A and B are shown apart, each in its own frame.
Chain A
Amino acid sequence: MALEFLEGNEAIARGAMKANCNFFAGYPITPSSSILQHMLDLLPRDGGIAVQAEDEIASIGFCIGAAMAGSKVLTATSGPGISLYSENIGLAIIGETPMVIVNVQRQGPATGSATKGAEGDIQFTRWCTSGGLPVIVLSPATVGEAYELTFHAFNLSERYRVPVFLLTNKEIGLTRESVDLDAIELPSPVERKRVAMGEEYLPHDFDYPSAVPAFADFGGEHITRFTTSTHDKAAFLATSPPLIQEMIDHYTAKVDAAADELALVKQHLEDGAETLIVSYGITSRSAAVAAREARAIGVKVSTLCLQTLYPVPRTALISAMNGISKIIVPEMNMGQYILEVERLAPAGIEIIGVNKMDTTLISPDEILEQGGLR
């Protein structure tokens, strides 16, 4: 066993390399800049390309171009950069572009407390571009999970041809932890399904709405097209309402249909517990301590830690709510994911948000006290 002392940002770069990422473009922004730095160090040695672009718009533009040429691409920024990515995220959705986007969240709005942590971009990530179509959002709680979920993010983006977000936080990105990455079990890297040689090719072909179209690289053996405009399966402009709806249903169905498969959660459900703590990201770790302390004083508490935020792991959430009379949702924002919990909770359940945006972590004590556990 070989331990390393790594920050989350480096673990993300290592996870990307493990997933065979071969293209990175980014723009410096605290607290994500060290991902750019690590990718600049790792990728060119491996025959890949890592570049610093002139701004965030160019970063994601380079990545979309490279992804459509067949590369496995990563870009990384913080909340303000996601604002600038926004229009291109829509392009990646409509073009069915596999790509991984890291948001190392910092305290906002605007420049905010640039060097301090927060988790204020939860709903923003889900609804980050016009049209409101679904994306996949994963959120690690530890440095090890940052590595693991980056790897999964690549696999999901390849499998579903959709942008996948890794939503992390300065508190994980820039905190070093003792970790043994080699001890983390990972599946094989997934490669996007490519059209077979000689087959006729349509860039957005599918037999049923949730099917994921085969991919042809720009510059490969099949002539291919990509367009920002509403289009048909051949990527030609579409103006017929039924055809437009068919494509919208496709983008939606392929992510929604996979909701259960995509639901990465860690749960500790206690028999007879009446309280459930639903958490994600760094705050999951305070929730774990709070639950342990509550149990130590004889209060039964279940915990559900979400690694997949979107699509919402509905089945896991609903099943964890079974027999529960109180749900505590601690968040380093003013109450965002609690909206998803409220949507799924049966009537009569008390739902308590523990919220803070002063740049410091929510402590186990704050969860215990504001959650009424002691």
Chain B
Amino acid sequence: MSIQSEDVLKIAHLARLGIEPEQVESYASDLSNIMVLVEQMSQVDTSDIEPMAHPLDQSQRLRTDVVLESNQRDALQKNAPAIEDGLFLVPRVID
């Protein structure tokens, strides 16, 4: 499977990445190479192997349900570009 320029633009848009027009071709070719590698791996017969969700062969540790955090709003909002009434302000979003 080869990646076309449109695919690169779509992926970049979904990931909110800005790509210069002159870079599109080279990304398409790099990503296509990766896909070649993936296809190569797909050749291996894995029919009797259970898919794994995580490389670590362990299960999730759980946390007791207690409130441990206190209000750190002032500190956490120090690097926000705009705040008001305790809210983060962002460019207007319309649904």
Are A and B associated in one complex?
no
Contact surface of A with B, Cβ cutoff 8 Å: none
Contact surface of B with A, Cβ cutoff 8 Å: none
